[in-house]
């Protein structure tokens, strides 16, 4: 008998599969399509970690399962290969970012191959390769033509460590998403994509994604932050009745306004403070605020700081003059950058008014209780008071009534505001996709003509960590204006790498197209992605940006869907000793070490068996050992019975044992099929296979051999998506020439599931006390023995003497006691 040696059979089969081009995408149009996609990795210098192994294994089981179920499957892989670490390696170690990245890409690919994942390598994409980024530039130009890419000067997020700007989505709790440095603000002229144009559609689309986790949809809704409210326009008499408009979600509180607050950066502030007492204090304050991030300024526990400008504004309905303040908690970037202060009904305003001794005016009263002695803002519902003609209205109605009234009078009106900001995509870094724009003194901003693409990254650059390396390349910066031919300058910023990953899933459908990002007909063949597997950390980054890109490409008539991912599976983390595996915690288990020691099949089995895909998974050496033992058990099972398959006997299920094994086999097929399909409960599917293996080991030597052969074959087929190498080897051992992965998924016969069992009543002295299921053909003494073992009956019989046991076959058992 041969022993199980994964280190021999795994590389052998990987080579055979590769040679036979087994994982090339099946283009048979008669089959239904399935697009299984795992988020592609960033090729860091460290190779794969367990998190990667988990995602790829999950995706691979789905892809293989679907293939065996008659689908043509697209299952591609690539590398998200632009990004900062390559450039930092260049600065620190003096290596070329391109060579460094290509080396890492190669290594990651090799490691992925060693896991036995069934990717169609012929569709591999690397976002840093010129044939790919040429088309990223092509898409930028499409956005530009459609008015969706624009340049503007703005106070933007700046990471002093990464030396570059960041999109709002890349600032987490005030810190850089990549390096955790506190983000500051900087005034810069930058490129933006107009994602805000799509805010409503990005919201609406979420309602059409029932197979996305609620949590991810909630995070996106919250990020987009749609809020209905009103604009209200005040005037400033001393500035020749210049207007200042506020955004409020509570126009019903308009009569409770006792002051206005402007953001320090509000353009009116300098005019308001000119010549006033606080002028220089406020000017200093503005300078400080310009550098502080929103998060720091608006944190709930942050001290609210404000200054009276010395100017007043006129209330649009009462004509009253209210003081105008500037304060840290009002952001220029939200609404209109100006708010009306209603201390009686807004918590923040209440604290502010208390601190600076501003009047508090109640305009909403609850149905019960009073608001005479406010100790905090009253933010609930109620009736309007002190509100002119609107007094007496319920405040819900008043929100609409006052907004409408303002509109009629030309003093504002209903409006919708979003938290979402346009996507800032310029990066002052080298290792990214160059923005294909040229600046000409005469022609202004000139897009690079599509036929001149790609704008290649130059090699003659200096990496000193002090400036954007692209600005150091004379050959890159100096160019000619494509319009007038005069000398001109190239844009030196590169694109946010999230742009590269916003369209890669389209590229896989047509990975070698040199002229277009893809042929729309090919996209039509495959999109949408049927199952997308990746981390929750991309909930409002990659997943929002990809949805945005898809909608723009849909509008341009290039893709047939406006939502790219039908179903989203966010896998849990891989933990060790209760904490996420990470280098800093020193609790990392190297995937390749595990593959070396036990084989990829064991690693895959362990990961799939230890937890359902969306839950966190605790690494366990004992668990890995257990998976390895199980595969050995499967191996021996086939080896022991290998001769059975030389001349396969026809099954005969007349004996009780054969009937039972046959039933167990069908039950297992049903369970595994249902668990894998849709639910992706791989762990319970694997347990069911383990039970079948136990059933085979317990099967008597003299029982029907044909039934046994069927059961063994079923184990190998059911296990194929999970442990592809060992099953392939065993399949050959069973005498087959073709691949186990090219077989049809086993089916089950509902008739074989019917159990030959009956439920009978158990009585004590004629009273029904319990029920029990027994084999239909069990004889009287077998039934009696089963009944006497029941917990409930044993308890009830305690201290009693059994006089007689009456068994009525297939009906009941009556125990007579006294
Ligand atoms: C008056 C008022 C009275 C408000 C009241 C609330 C309660 P959401 O829901 O997040 O959209 N606000 C508006 N622009 C702001 C800015 N640039 N910086 C800081 N705060 C701003 O919140 C909208 C509310 O946040 C607005 O409604 C405004 O305060 C404040 F009883 O106006 B409210
Ligand atoms: Zn940073």
Domain CATH code at residue 413 = 3.90.740.10
**Confidence at residue 775, expressed as pLDDT on a 0 to 100 scale:** 82
Residues 678, 701 within the same domain: yes
* Whether residue 73 has pLDDT greater than 80: yes
State the distance from the centre of ligand 2 to the C-alpha of 191, rounded, in angstroms.
Answer: 19
Residue with more model confidence, 290 or 503: 503
Binding site residues for ATP, as ranges?
583
How much of the chain exceeds pLDDT 90, in percent? 83
Say how far apart CA 685 and CA 673 lie, in whole Å: 8
Please tell me the number of Cα atoms within 13 Å of 623 on its side-chain side. Answer: 15
**Confidence at residue 50, expressed as pLDDT on a 0 to 100 scale:** 95
**Confidence at residue 616, expressed as pLDDT on a 0 to 100 scale:** 95
C-alpha dist (Å) from residue 459 to 75, 97, 436, 469, 752: 35, 10, 17, 10, 69
Residues 364, 250 within the same domain: yes
9 Cβ inside 6 Å of ligand 1: no
For residues 279-306, give the mean pLDDT: 84
473 Cβ inside 6 Å of ligand 1: no
Task: Give the DSSP letter of residue 529.
Answer: B
What is the pLDDT confidence band of residue 294, given thresholds at 50, 70 and 90? confident
Say how far apart CA 120 and CA 625 lie, in whole Å: 31
What is the pLDDT confidence band of residue 302, given thresholds at 50, 70 and 90? confident
Residues 376, 392 within the same domain: yes
255 Cβ inside 6 Å of ligand 1: no
Last residue of a domain, one of 368, 388, 417: 417
Say how far apart CA 78 and CA 101 lie, in whole Å: 13
Structure tokens given for 49 = 């970690």
Residues 780, 712 within the same domain: no
Cα-Cα-Cα-Cα dihedral of 77, 82, 87, 89, to 10°? -10
Say how far apart CA 268 and CA 644 lie, in whole Å: 90
**Confidence at residue 581, expressed as pLDDT on a 0 to 100 scale:** 87
For residues 148-158, give the mean pLDDT: 92
Residues 233, 353 within the same domain: yes
Number of domains present in the structure of the chain? 3
345 Cβ inside 6 Å of ligand 1: yes
**Confidence at residue 269, expressed as pLDDT on a 0 to 100 scale:** 97
Say if CB 594 and CB 601 are below 8 A apart: no
Tell me whether residue 430 is in a domain: no
Q: What is the phi/psi pair of residue 446, to 5°?
A: -125, 120
Residues 748, 802 within the same domain: no
* pLDDT tens digits, 654-691: 998 999 999 999 999 999 999 999 789 999 999 999 99
* pLDDT tens digits, 181-219: 988 888 889 999 999 999 999 999 999 999 999 999 999
Strand partners, 596: none
Largest Cα separation within the chain, whole Å, is 114
132 sits in the region (left: phi over 0; alpha: psi -120 to 50; else beta) called alpha
Say if CB 590 and CB 582 are below 8 A apart: no
* pLDDT tens digits, 311-345: 999 999 999 999 999 999 999 989 999 999 999 99
Sequence-separated (6 or more) residues with CB below 8 Å from residue 249: 227, 228, 229
Residues 733, 767 within the same domain: no
Tell me whether residue 253 is in a domain: yes
745 Cβ inside 6 Å of ligand 1: no
Sequence-separated (6 or more) residues with CB below 8 Å from residue 787: 762, 772, 793, 805, 813, 815
Structure tokens given for 304 = 């609210």
What is the pLDDT confidence band of residue 88, given thresholds at 50, 70 and 90? confident
* pLDDT tens digits, 216-270: 999 999 999 999 999 999 999 999 999 999 999 999 999 999 999 999 999 999 9
Tell me whether residue 777 is in a domain: yes
**Confidence at residue 371, expressed as pLDDT on a 0 to 100 scale:** 66
Tell me whether residue 809 is in a domain: yes
**Confidence at residue 154, expressed as pLDDT on a 0 to 100 scale:** 83
* Whether residue 51 has pLDDT greater than 80: yes
* pLDDT tens digits, 486-502: 999 999 999 999 999 99
**Confidence at residue 539, expressed as pLDDT on a 0 to 100 scale:** 86
State the distance from the centre of ligand 1 to the C-alpha of 304, rounded, in angstroms.
Answer: 15
Helices (H), 655-733: 656-676, 682-698, 705-719, 724-733
Q: Which domain holds residue 302?
A: 227-417
Structure tokens given for 522 = 């090919």
* Whether residue 95 has pLDDT greater than 70: yes
Strand partners, 233: 245
Last residue of a domain, one of 752, 779, 809: 752
State the distance from the centre of ligand 1 to the C-alpha of 784, rounded, in angstroms.
Answer: 76
Sequence-separated (6 or more) residues with CB below 8 Å from residue 808: 814
* pLDDT tens digits, 576-595: 988 888 887 888 999 999 99
Task: Give the DSSP letter of residue 467.
Answer: S
For residues 454-472, give the mean pLDDT: 92
**Confidence at residue 300, expressed as pLDDT on a 0 to 100 scale:** 67
Binding site residues, as ranges?
583
Q: How far apart are the first and last CA of the chain?
A: 61
* Whether residue 533 has pLDDT greater than 90: yes
Tell me whether residue 131 is in a domain: no
User: Shortest CA distance to 44 belongs to which of 94, 111, 133, 132?
Assistant: 111
Residues 706, 782 within the same domain: no
State the distance from the centre of ligand 2 to the C-alpha of 721, rounded, in angstroms.
Answer: 41
How much of the chain exceeds pLDDT 70, in percent? 100
The 10 Å Cβ neighbour count of residue 665 is: 27
* pLDDT tens digits, 510-524: 999 999 999 999 999
Dihedral sign for Cα atoms in the order 655, 657, 662, 664:
positive
Last residue of a domain, one of 752, 772, 799: 752
Residues 631, 776 within the same domain: no
**Confidence at residue 681, expressed as pLDDT on a 0 to 100 scale:** 96
Residues 747, 761 within the same domain: no
Structure tokens given for 395 = 């405040």
The mean of the pLDDT values for the chain is 94
For residues 753-780, give the mean pLDDT: 86
Ligand that comes closest to the CA of residue 172: 2
Residues 636, 761 within the same domain: no
* pLDDT tens digits, 717-747: 999 999 999 999 999 999 999 999 999 999 9
Query: Which CATH number fits the domain that encloses residue 656?
Result: 1.10.730.10
637 Cβ inside 6 Å of ligand 1: no
330 Cβ inside 6 Å of ligand 1: yes
Query: Which CATH number fits the domain that encloses residue 770?
Result: 3.10.20.590
State the distance from the centre of ligand 2 to the C-alpha of 729, rounded, in angstroms.
Answer: 49
The 10 Å Cβ neighbour count of residue 3 is: 9
Dihedral sign for Cα atoms in the order 40, 42, 43, 48:
negative
* Whether residue 754 has pLDDT greater than 80: no
Residue with more model confidence, 751 or 142: 142
Residue/partner pairs of 462-467 with CB below 8 Å, 24 or more apart: 463/87, 463/90, 463/91, 463/94, 463/430, 464/91, 465/91, 465/163, 467/428
Q: What is the phi/psi pair of residue 82, to 5°?
A: -90, 155
What is the pLDDT confidence band of residue 815, given thresholds at 50, 70 and 90? very high
The protein residue whose alpha carbon is closest to atom 14 in ligand 1 is: 335
For residues 154-178, give the mean pLDDT: 86
Tell me whether residue 354 is in a domain: yes
Residue 66 CA to chain centroid, in angstroms? Answer: 22
Tell me whether residue 85 is in a domain: no
Instruction: Using DSSP, state whether 755 is helix, strand or coil.
Output: coil
Tell me whether residue 674 is in a domain: yes
What is the pLDDT confidence band of residue 750, given thresholds at 50, 70 and 90? confident
Q: Which ligand 1 atom sits nearest the alpha carbon of residue 344?
A: 31
Residues 796, 740 within the same domain: no
């Amino acid at each position: 008998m041969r022993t199980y040696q994964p280190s021999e059979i795994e590389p052998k089969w990987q080579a055979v599969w590769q040679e036979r081009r087994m994982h090339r995408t099946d283009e048979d149009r008669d089959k239904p399509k399935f697009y299984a996609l795992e988020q592609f990795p960033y090729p860091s210098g460290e190779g794969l970690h367990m998190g990667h192994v988990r995602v790829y294994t999950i995706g691979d089981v789905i892809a293989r399962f679907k293939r065996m179920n008659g689908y043509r499957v697209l299952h591609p892989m690539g590398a998200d290969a632009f990004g900062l670490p390559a450039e930092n390696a260049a600065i620190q170690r003096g290596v070329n970012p391109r060579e460094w990245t290509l080396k890492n890409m190669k290594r990651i690919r090799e490691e992925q191959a060693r896991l036995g994942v069934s990717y169609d390598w012929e569709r591999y994409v690397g976002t840093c390769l010129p044939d790919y980024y040429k088309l990223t530039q092509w898409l930028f130009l499409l956005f530009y033509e459609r008015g969706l890419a624009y340049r503007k000067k703005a106070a933007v997020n700046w990471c002093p460590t990464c030396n570059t700007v960041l999109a709002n989505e890349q600032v987490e709790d005030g810190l850089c998403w990549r390096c955790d440095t506190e983000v500051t603000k900087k005034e810069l002229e930058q490129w933006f994509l107009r994602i805000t144009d799509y805010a409503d559609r990005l919201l609406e689309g979420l309602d059409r994604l029932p197979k996305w986790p609620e949590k991810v949809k909630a995070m996106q809704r919250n990020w987009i932050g749609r809020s209905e409210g009103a604009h209200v326009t005040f005037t400033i008499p001393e500035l020749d009745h210049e207007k200042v408009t506020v955004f409020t979600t509570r126009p019903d509180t308009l009569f409770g306004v006792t002051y206005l607050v402007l953001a320090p950066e509000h353009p009116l502030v300098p005019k308001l403070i000119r010549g006033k007492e606080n002028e220089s204090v406020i000017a200093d304050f503005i300078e400080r605020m310009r550098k502080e991030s929103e998060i720091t300024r608006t944190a709930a526990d942050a001290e609210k700081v404000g200054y009276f400008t010395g100017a007043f504004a006129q209330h649009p309905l009462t004509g009253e003059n209210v003081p105008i303040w500037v304060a840290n908690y009002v952001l220029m970037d939200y609404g209109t950058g100006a708010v009306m202060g209603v201390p009686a009904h807004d918590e923040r305003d209440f604290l502010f008014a208390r601190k600076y001794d501003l009047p508090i005016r109640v305009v909403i009263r609850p149905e019960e209780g009073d608001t005479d002695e406010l100790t905090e803002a009253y933010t609930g519902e109620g009736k309007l008071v002190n509100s002119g003609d609107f007094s007496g209205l319920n405040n819900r109605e008043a929100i609409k009534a006052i907004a409408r009234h303002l509109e009629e009078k030309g003093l504002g009106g209903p409006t919708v505001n979003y938290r979402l900001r346009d996507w800032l995509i310029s990066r002052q870094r080298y290792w990214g996709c160059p923005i294909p724009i040229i600046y000409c003194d005469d022609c202004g901003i000139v897009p690079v003509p599509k036929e001149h693409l790609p704008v290649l990254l130059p090699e003659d650059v200096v990496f000193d960590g002090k400036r954007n390396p692209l600005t150091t390349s004379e050959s890159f910066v100096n160019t000619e204006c494509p319009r007038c031919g005069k000398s001109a300058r190239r844009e030196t910023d590169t694109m946010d790498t999230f742009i590269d990953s916003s369209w890669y899933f389209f590229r896989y459908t047509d990975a070698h197209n040199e002229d277009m990002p893809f042929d729309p007909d090919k996209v039509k063949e495959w999109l949408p992605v049927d199952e997308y597997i990746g981390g929750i950390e991309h909930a409002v980054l990659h997943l929002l940006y990809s949805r945005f890109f898809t909608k723009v490409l849909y509008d341009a008539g290039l893709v047939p869907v406006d939502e790219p991912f039908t179903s989203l599976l966010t896998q849990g983390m891989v933990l060790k000793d209760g904490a996420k595996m990470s280098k800093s915690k020193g609790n990392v288990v190297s995937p390749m070490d595990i593959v070396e020691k036990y084989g990829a099949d064991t690693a895959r089995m362990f990961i799939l068996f230890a937890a359902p895909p969306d839950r966190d998974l605790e690494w366990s050496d004992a668990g890995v050992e257990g998976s390895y033992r199980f595969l050995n058990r499967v191996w021996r099972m086939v080896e022991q019975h290998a001769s059975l398959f030389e001349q396969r006997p026809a099954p005969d299920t007349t004996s009780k044992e054969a009937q039972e094994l046959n039933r167990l086999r069908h039950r297992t097929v049903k369970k595994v099929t249902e668990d894998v399909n849709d639910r992706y409960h791989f762990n319970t599917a694997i347990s069911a296979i383990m039970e079948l293996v136990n059933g085979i080991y317990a099967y008597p030597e003299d029982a029907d051999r044909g039934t046994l052969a069927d059961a063994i074959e079923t184990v190998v087929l059911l296990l194929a998506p999970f442990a592809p190498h060992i099953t392939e080897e065993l399949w050959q051992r069973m005498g087959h020439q073709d691949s186990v992965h090219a077989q049809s998924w086993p089916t089950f016969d509902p008739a074989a599931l019917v159990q030959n069992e009956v439920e009978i009543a158990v009585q004590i002295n004629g009273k029904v006390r319990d029920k029990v299921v027994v084999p239909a053909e069990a004889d009287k003494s077998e039934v009696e023995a089963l009944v006497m073992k029941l917990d409930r009956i044993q308890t009830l019989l305690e201290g009693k003497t059994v006089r007689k046991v009456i068994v009525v076959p297939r009906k009941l058992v009556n125990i007579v006691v006294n």
